[in-house]
Amino acid sequence: YANPIGCNQKSGEFTLGRFDPITGTNWNRMYHCNNQLASQFAKQYCDADDQILKTAFKAALISDVEQQLNGPDYRLTTGKRIALNLQRLAHQADIVLDLHTGPISSQHLYCPEYATESARYFNIPHVLVIPNDFDGAMDEASFCPWWQLSEQLAQQGREFNVQVEAFTVELGSQEKIDLSAAFDDAQSILSYLNHKQVFVDAPYKPKVMTRYGCQLNDYIAYYAPMGGMVEYLAPLGGHIKAGEPIAKILRMERYLSEQPLQTLSFDLDAIAILHFASASVNQGTELYKFFTNVFEL
């Protein structure tokens, strides 16, 4: 559990989840990345062999997190302390899987660009390809330093693969527990781990399926252009055409006075990955997130 406070936080029936109820902080964006480390190691270890470099860099990442944790107690927010403790564990591993759910969401995978080959071993049809930019997430905190190191060494002409794979695995809707779907999710993860040779002679294989990719830049939030009651028309995972209706917004306060029902559409071909969890929205509420410029992986 990464969010021990939010997951016990209720207001009405639903669970607040990933936000600090006090400050609104998104706990999934509190991780730490020291951008200096990679260039420092590329210089200092330019003659070291790969294994020594890997061991030293891993130790440096852990020690860097520990330094953050060991500062004066009063310097750490609730979320930062939790994140750093998780990250200290994560840096010890070569594979980091951050299992998530979203409000109302289809399965999708956050996958760093260099690891798209591995994405084919998860049974997840939607893959978000992310670049080497740190934005506070656990998966990025795990792979960015290694990716930076790999790039720094490439500039010296040395090939040094990214030594770590990290993914955020979005398993679906957070308020839905389905044990048979959970079994499928486990198979999917086992298939990936088998590919990474975590097991010996294990039978886990990926399903044959079409996997769609999308660059992070092309992952587009669609905010409600007006407030009201929403009928969501684009099915999760559904491929919609530019200009097709994706939602209807009913504004009861305009009933009998002007057009109370508005049809919304999106100006690009897209796949609907998630939508807002409630039928009641404000102007500017995130209605949908869409994959655009989709390609087959």
Query: Which parts of this chain interact with a copy of itself (CB under 8 A)?
Result: 1, 5, 7-17, 19-26, 72-81, 103, 174-179, 221-226, 229-232, 248, 250, 252, 264, 266-267, 276-280, 282-287
The residue with tokens 């670049």 is 131
Round to whole Å and give the CA distance between 82 and 37: 22
Using the minimum distance from each CB to a copy of itself, give the nearer residue, 7 or 37.
7
- Minimum Å gap between C-beta 103 and a copy of itself is 5
- Minimum Å gap between C-beta 19 and a copy of itself is 4
- Minimum Å gap between C-beta 107 and a copy of itself is 17
Count CA atoms closer than 13 A to 289's CA, side-chain side: 18
Amino acid at 81: R
Is residue 273 a contact partner of residue 173, using CB atoms and an 8 Å limit? Answer: no
- Minimum Å gap between C-beta 132 and a copy of itself is 23
**How many helices (H) and strands (E) are present in the chain, helices listed first?**
6, 17
Q: What does the H/E/C string look like for 125-157? A: CEEEEECCCCCCCHHHHHHHHHHHHHHHHHHCC
Using the minimum distance from each CB to a copy of itself, give the nearer residue, 72 or 157.
72
Round to whole Å and give the CA distance between 132 and 144: 6
- Minimum Å gap between C-beta 98 and a copy of itself is 16
How many residues belong to the chain?
297
